[in-house]
Structure 1
C-alpha cells in the first residue's frame, strides 16, 4: 500500500512539475476526446490553450521584470528598510509543494472536486491543477501552527471547497463583464478577495457622493478617444512609475512603452486561450444537458491569468503598484517590503471588477483597503511562512529577517483559515461549518437552476 501511494504521489508530483503550459493542453485534449469533439479539434484546442498560456506568461514575465527593478530603485531612492522581504509567488508555490501537505495535494483536491461534482455542490471542473498549491500553502501553515499534518490536509480541503463555491458564484459576472463564457476561476488567491469586495461594494452603495462616482474604461475611451485607449493609459502609468523611481530618460520611456504593450498584449493572449477553450466548454455543457437532468451549467476552472487582461483590471493595478510601496512605508505595524509579487496585483482584481460592475473608481478604493489589510496579514503570517520555507530548505535571502509574499502571504482567506485553526477544535469546526454550509447553499442554487433550465 505504501508503495502504491508513493507511486501516486510521485506521478502527480511529476505532473505538477510540467507546469500549466504543458499540463493544460494535455487535459484539454483528453476532455475534448472524451466529449467526442474529435481528435483533430481536441488537439487544436489543447495546443491553442498551451500557446495562450505561454503567451500570457511571457507578457506577465515582461511586466514583472520591468516593474521589479523600478520598485527596487524606488526603495533605494527613498531609503526604505523593512525587515520582511516579499519573495514572490514562485517561492511560495515551491514552499507549498515541498511541504508534506503539498506532496499529496493534487490527488486529494481532484478527489474532492469529483465528489463535489457528483453531489451537485459545485459546477466547476477545476483543471488548473498547478494552482492547487494555494490550498497546499494554507495546509502547510496550519500544519506548522498545529503540529498536525492531518489537520493541515483538512484545512487545505476546506479551503478548496470554499474557493470552488466562490468560483461558481462569480462565474456569471465573468461572462458578463469579462466576456469569459463557460469559465470559472477557482483560484486560491484571486477568489479570496471576493467576500471582502462584496462587503466593501455594499458599503460604498450607502455612502452619499461616493456611490455616484463611476469610472469606466470604455467610457473613458469614448470620451478621450485615442488617449483613453489601454495602450496610452499603460504608457502614461509606466512613465509616472519611471519618473518616481528616478530612472533616466531612456529608462522612463522604456518602462512607459513596455507597460503600454502589456495592456495591449495580455488581452490578446487571453483571447487566444479562450479560442481553445470555447469548443471544450460548449461540448461539456451539451454533454451535461443531454445526460444529467439535475445539473445546471458546468464551468471549466482555470488560472486567473485568463482574466487579468481586462482594461480596468490592468489600469487600476498599475496605479496601485507605486501606491503599494508607499503604503508599506507609512502603514503602522507593517514590516513587509513589497517587491517580487507586485506583478501579481492584477490577480487581486480579476473578480473584483465584475463585483463593482467595471467601475474603476470603486475598484481603486477597494484595492487600497485590500492592500492595507493584505500588508498586515503578510506581516502576521511572516513567521510561519519563514518556518515553512526553512522546512522546505528554501534559502532566506541575505538581509531579510523573515520572508512573506503578497501571493499568498496577503491572502485573507488563508489567514482566516490559519488563525481559526490556531484556536483549536472550535476554530476548525467554524471553518468546517462555513465550508459545508456554503456547499449546501450552492447545491440548492444549482438544483434550482437545473430545474429552470430543463422545465
Structure 2
C-alpha cells in the first residue's frame, strides 16, 4: 500500500511517463524512443499544469470576487478536483481503487466489452471518489468496491462511444477519453445536438473561434478573444483597470500556451499509441483499440478553451438561479474546460450549441453537488481535509457527478424524487448517446467502403 501511495504522490507528470515508458518497452519499442516518449509526455503535462495553475491562481480568485460582488452567498464552497482527489485517495476505497479499475479494464478487454486500454492511472481517482462516497452513504466497504467497479466499467464504455468524437473532431486517432467528468457529462449534449440541429433557423447558427476570426480579422484571433474575456471577468470582479488588464493578458497566454503543451503530449504519445494499437489489433484479429488518456488533450482545441473562459462567469450566474443550489462555484471554475471539452466536440466546435447544452449540464451538476454536501463533508472529515471554520464542502467535479449520485441514491433511497428525476434524465441521455454512437459508426463504415471502391 505504501508503494502504491508513493507512486500516486509522484503526480501525473511523473507517473504517466513511467507508465508510458514501461508500456513502450512491453510493445518492443527501443529504450531510447520509449524514454523520449515518456519524457516528452511529462514535459507536456508539466506545461499544462503550469497553464492550469495560472488559471487557478488568477481566474479562481477573480471568480470568487465576482460571486461576492454580485451577492452570491452559499453554504458550501466548491473545493474543486484539487480538493476532491486527495479525499478520494485518502479513503479506504482509495487503497484498492487502482487494482479494481485495472482488473475491470483487463476483464472487459478479454471479454470484448470495450476497446479502451486505459493508461490514465491518475484519473482513477474519479472511480475512487464514487466508491468512497457510496461507502459513506451506505456504510459498506463492499458496496464501495462495487461502485468503483461499476464506475470503471461505465466510463470505459463511454470511452468507446465517444471515440468517434475524439477522432473526427479532435483528430486524436486511436485515442479515447474515459474520464469521470468529460465523458460522464457529455451524454447531456446529445439531445441538445439533435434538438438544436432540427429547429429551422437555429440549426444554421454556428458560432466558433474561426468564424469570429474570419469576420473580425486580428480582433477575432484566439489570444485577443482570451484577452477580452479575461478583462471582462476582471471588471465584473470589481478589479481596477490595471489588474483587469493583467488578467486579460494571462488568459490570452492560456489560449496560446495550452494547445502548444498538448502538442508536446501528442508528440510523445502517438508513436506509443500506434505501436499499442498494432500489437493489440494483431493479437485480437484486427480489432481496433483506443488508448485511454486524460482530457487535457481536448484543451488543445481553441473552441474548448474559449468555452472554458465563457463558462466562468456563466457558472456563477447559474449558481444564483438554479433552484435549491447551495454550492458556491470556485475550485473547479478554472478547469471548467474538463466539463465542456467533449461537449464542444459533440457540437463540432459550435460555441452557440455548447453554451446552451453546457448551461443545462452545469445546472444539473450544481443541483447534484448541493444534494451530496453531507456525504462530501463526511469524506472530507474522514480525510482530515476540513479547514478551520469550514463546516461544509462540495465539489462540482464528482460531487456533482450524476453517476455517483444515482448509485448512492439507489442504495440508500434517501431522495426518491431526486433519483427518479436525475436517473430518468440520465438514462434518456445515455440511450441517445448509444444511438448517436451507432450513427457515427455507420458513417465511418460507409466512408471506408466508399474509399475502398474508389481505390
TM-score in terms of structure 1 length: 0.89
Q: Is contact 1:85-1:338 (8 Å) kept?
A: yes
Does residue 343 (structure 1) correspond to residue 334 (structure 2)? The answer is yes
Question: Could you tell me which residue of structure 2 aligns to residue 6 of structure 1?
Answer: none
Question: Could you tell me which residue of structure 1 aligns to residue 207 of structure 2?
Answer: 215
Q: Is contact 2:138-2:408 (8 Å) kept?
A: no
Query: Which residue among 317, 335, 343 is the counterpart of 1:352?
Result: 343
Does residue 420 (structure 1) correspond to residue 410 (structure 2)? The answer is yes
Question: Could you tell me which residue of structure 2 aligns to residue 407 of structure 1?
Answer: 397
Query: Which residue among 365, 370, 374 is the counterpart of 2:365?
Result: 374
Root mean square deviation of aligned Cα: 2.6
Query: Which residue among 272, 275, 283 is the counterpart of 1:280?
Result: 272
Q: Secondary structure at the match of 2:77?
A: strand
Larger mean Cα displacement after TM superposition, 411-420 or 258-267: 411-420
- The 5 Å alignment of 1:267-346 reads 267-293=259-285, 295-346=286-337
CA distance in 2, matches of 1:121, 1:289: 15
CA distance in 1, matches of 2:156, 2:219: 39
CA distance in 2, matches of 1:260, 1:382: 35
Query: Which residue among 376, 381, 385 is the counterpart of 1:390?
Result: 381
Question: Could you tell me which residue of structure 2 aligns to residue 164 of structure 1?
Answer: 156
Query: Which residue among 168, 176, 179 is the counterpart of 1:176?
Result: 168
Q: Is contact 1:85-1:337 (8 Å) kept?
A: yes
Number of equivalenced pairs: 432
Q: Is contact 1:396-1:402 (8 Å) kept?
A: no
Question: Could you tell me which residue of structure 1 aligns to residue 42 of structure 2?
Answer: 50
Shift of 1:215: 1.0
Does residue 196 (structure 1) correspond to residue 188 (structure 2)? The answer is yes
CA distance in 1, matches of 2:311, 2:67: 16
Q: Secondary structure at the match of 1:350?
A: helix
- The 5 Å alignment of 1:97-112 reads 97-112=89-104
Shift of 1:180: 1.5
Question: Could you tell me which residue of structure 1 aligns to residue 228 of structure 2?
Answer: 236
Q: Secondary structure at the match of 2:291?
A: strand
CA distance in 2, matches of 1:301, 1:218: 29
Shift of 1:14: 2.1
CA distance in 2, matches of 1:208, 1:289: 44
CA distance in 2, matches of 1:303, 1:350: 11
Q: Is contact 2:170-2:301 (8 Å) kept?
A: yes
Q: Secondary structure at the match of 2:372?
A: helix
Shift of 1:76: 3.2
- The 5 Å alignment of 1:8-157 reads 9-157=1-149
Residues 248-272 of structure 1: CA deviation (Å, up to 9, x unaligned)? 1110110000001101100000011
Q: Is contact 2:226-2:306 (8 Å) kept?
A: yes
Unaligned ranges ≥5, structure 1 = 1-8
Q: Secondary structure at the match of 1:125?
A: strand
Q: Secondary structure at the match of 1:180?
A: coil
Q: Is contact 1:396-1:403 (8 Å) kept?
A: no
Q: Is contact 2:100-2:148 (8 Å) kept?
A: no
Unaligned ranges ≥5, structure 2 = none
Q: Is contact 1:97-1:103 (8 Å) kept?
A: yes
Shift of 1:397: 5.1
Does residue 227 (structure 1) correspond to residue 219 (structure 2)? The answer is yes
Question: Could you tell me which residue of structure 2 aligns to residue 5 of structure 1?
Answer: none
